[in-house]
Structure 1
């Protein structure tokens, strides 16, 4: 399953991505200063809200394009994706990093990057990644 090394490797492969600590000092990755994935351990209110369903292990936060995409991920694989009340109404999911394979993690992170990258940068990367898409 995936690790923080995988997250760093995938993020480093995306144009104009930088790793900056978040406000609480944990790793976060941005494209042109727009957050797209971050380390997100559970806090006391999260643990209280999740109760026995609170996962152990590393947790990645990831932006998604919209609330519909969020709901689809949550419904599709609840063993990997989950949310907390703090993220209600916000287009982001939490990911049990030790339960996602690197192929799916790459897809999630690339989509998060596309969601936050400037349109021209995203279009250039898409054309470079898939010349037939142009």
Structure 2
């Protein structure tokens, strides 16, 4: 199980990240690009679940490189990583923090940062 504090610790290790707010929720940026944000369910999201109970707890959204990568991430990740109809056609996935492992969370956040970071910054980070 991961927490918002785990998210903040992972993000704090990444270069050139700023914290802001979108729609009243914490959002993390590299340059002007959002790569991770708190994404609670709206009333419309909950309604789409019908009789099914939506995932509980804090939900984090993270960017992915493109829609093909989104499908690969969804296919290769744990059940903690999912999408909703509101994200159809949008290169991002959702993560249920209550059920994701810290290692998987770290990989997803770093990949999101890499997807949005300027190429030179991402290359420098990878070169380590």
TM-score over 0.5 (shorter chain) = yes
- 2:26 corresponds to 1:62: no
> How many residues were matched structurally?
127
Question: Cα distance 1:125–1:34, how it changes in 2: closer, same or farther (>3 A)?
Answer: same
Greater helix proportion: 1
Q: How does 1:38-117 map to 2 (within 5 A)?
A: 38-51=37-50, 52-77=52-77, 79-117=79-117
| TM-score of the superposed pair, with normalisation by structure 2 | 0.93
The CA distance in 2 between the partners of 1:103 and 1:20, in whole Å, is 25
Question: Cα distance 1:104–1:9, how it changes in 2: closer, same or farther (>3 A)?
Answer: same
**Residue 60 of structure 2 contacts residue 94 of structure 2 at CA under 8 Å; is this kept in 1?**
yes
Cα root mean square deviation, aligned: 1.3
**Residue 78 of structure 2 contacts residue 100 of structure 2 at CA under 8 Å; is this kept in 1?**
no
Question: After TM superposition, which residue ranges in structure 1, 4 or more long, deviate above 4 angstroms?
Answer: none
Q: How far did residue 72 of structure 1 move?
A: 2.3
Q: Unmatched 5+ residue regions in structure 1? A: 129-134
Q: Unmatched 5+ residue regions in structure 2? A: none
3-state SS of paired residue (1:95): strand
